[in-house]
Structure 1
Amino acid sequence: MDLGLRGKKAVVTGGSRGIGRAIADLLADEGADVAICARNAEQVAAAVEALKAKGVNAWGQVVDIADGQALKAFVQQAGETLGGIDIMVSNASALVQGNGEEEWQAMFDIDVMGAVRTFEAAKPFLLKAGEANGDAAFLITSSVSAAQADNPSSYGTMKAALIHYAKGVARENAPKHVRCNVISPGTVFFEGGVWGNVKAGMPQFFEQMIKRNPTGRMATPEEVAAATVFLASPRSAFTTGINMLVDGAISSRVNF
């Protein structure tokens, strides 16, 4: 299936590793030019070179997502460097659990305000793309943790806030051909990631989590990326305001 992404301009925050890197890679594989940001300079440089090797234009910058002005400046420069933004993916996360003030602040600054600021900075580019091409897309990475709670959790609460925010963005901007959707992964395994570290440090707990999923495994970043890129593409032009679970049925709630 041709997703209609060749020549599109896409920006991905947290795009140097894990899910973000897989999203950037797949967008490039589909022919889109890609800009990424992350905190590690070496990882950003390596990712940009790999993206360029796929035959597309690619650009990257080191950004602390919690720094609102730096984040907005990155999105602005990405749009100028690529020549527009058709697709904006807010993927960066603080990835902290807990109920302490530091965890709450980190999740608010990076996950929630990171998404809000990213969209506000990208909005002029997205509106222009929507008017010119009839479709532009803003994607947010949330989590299945948004829908379950065993204790007070800054992570799950802020991920749930993103889903609510996305619905408002979707409804307000639908007449302008700018869509907004959320992707909520379950457990995702890759070396050096959260569950990769759990497997190395707490193998018994890791095996317990594997058994909780009816599929008997965790997702790969590429599987989450595939769902994200499909929702970002013109093939999904009438899909907006949804929260797509990519969790292998680990959650038991009915999602509608």
Structure 2
Amino acid sequence: MDLGLKGKKVVVTGASRGIGRSIAELFADEGADVAICARNPDQVAAAVEALKAKGVKAWGQATDIADGPALKAFVTKAGEILGGIDVMVSNASALVQGTGEAEWQAMFDVDVLGAVRSFEAAKPFLEKAGEASGDAAFLITASVSAAEASNASCYGAMKAALIHYAKGLARENAAKHIRANVVSPGTVFFEGGVWGNVKAGMPQFFDQMIKRNPTGRMASPEEVAAATVFLASPRSAFTTGINMVVDGAISVRVNY
């Protein structure tokens, strides 16, 4: 299936590794030009070179998502360098659990305000793209933890806030041909990631988590990326305001 992404301009935050890296690479595989950011400059540089090797225009910059002015400056510069923004993906996360004020603040600054600021900076470009082609997209990476609560952790609560935010954006910007959707992964495994580290340090707990999933495994970053890229594509032009769960049925709730 041709997703209609060739020549599109895409910006992805938190894209030097894991899910974000896979999202950026899959967009590039579809022929889209891509700009990325993350905190580690060496990892950003390596990711940009890998993207360029796919034959597309790619640019990246080390950016602290919690630094509001820096994040907005990155998105604006990305739009200028790429020549527009058709798709903005807010993927970066503080990835912290807990109930301390520091944990709540980190999740708010990176996950929630990171998404809000990314959209605000990208909005002029997205409006222009929507007017020109009839379709522009804003995507957020959340989590199944948004609706699975066993304690009062900041992680799930802030991810839930993102789903609510996206629905509001979808309704508010539909007339301008800007769609807003969320992808909520379950457990995702890659070396050096959260569950990669759990496997190395707490193998028994890792095995318990594997057994919880009816599929008998965790997702790969590429599988989450595939959902994100499809939702961002013109093939999904009438899909907006949804939360797509990609979890292998590990969650038990029914989504109506």
Partner in structure 2 of residue 102 of structure 1: 102
Q: Deviations over 1:56-104 (max 9, x none)?
A: 0000000000000000000000000000000000000000000000000
Aligned ranges for residues 96-175 of structure 1 at < 5 Å? 96-175=96-175
Partner in structure 2 of residue 182 of structure 1: 182
* Amino acid corresponding to residue 231 of structure 2 in structure 1: L
Partner in structure 1 of residue 234 of structure 2: 234
Partner in structure 1 of residue 33 of structure 2: 33
Distance 2:42 2:202 in 1: 28
Tell me by how many angstroms 1:178 deviates. 0.2
Tell me by how many angstroms 1:152 deviates. 0.6
Q: Deviations over 1:19-68 (max 9, x none)?
A: 00000000000000000000001100000000000000000000000000
Partner in structure 1 of residue 73 of structure 2: 73
Tell me by how many angstroms 1:183 deviates. 0.1
Distance 1:224 1:185 in 2: 7
Q: Deviations over 1:169-209 (max 9, x none)?
A: 00000011000000000000000000000000000000000
* Amino acid corresponding to residue 9 of structure 1 in structure 2: K
**What is the TM-score with the length of structure 2 in the denominator?**
1.00
Q: Deviations over 1:130-174 (max 9, x none)?
A: 000000000000000000111111000000000000000000000
Tell me by how many angstroms 1:247 deviates. 0.1
Distance 2:176 2:79 in 1: 19
Any unmatched runs of 5+ in structure 1?
A: none
SS in 1 for 2:20: helix
Partner in structure 2 of residue 92 of structure 1: 92
- The answer to whether 1:253 aligns with 2:253 is yes
Any unmatched runs of 5+ in structure 2?
A: none
Tell me by how many angstroms 1:8 deviates. 0.2
Distance 1:228 1:112 in 2: 18
SS in 2 for 1:225: helix
Distance 2:48 2:154 in 1: 32
Distance 2:246 2:106 in 1: 25
* Amino acid corresponding to residue 72 of structure 2 in structure 1: K
SS in 1 for 2:139: strand
* Amino acid corresponding to residue 178 of structure 2 in structure 1: V
Partner in structure 2 of residue 192 of structure 1: 192
Root mean square deviation of aligned Cα: 0.3
Partner in structure 1 of residue 221 of structure 2: 221
Distance 2:38 2:208 in 1: 31
SS in 2 for 1:179: strand
Partner in structure 2 of residue 7 of structure 1: 7
Task: State how many pairs are aligned.
Answer: 256
Distance 1:213 1:124 in 2: 41
Partner in structure 2 of residue 210 of structure 1: 210
* Amino acid corresponding to residue 193 of structure 2 in structure 1: G
Moved over 2 A (4+): none
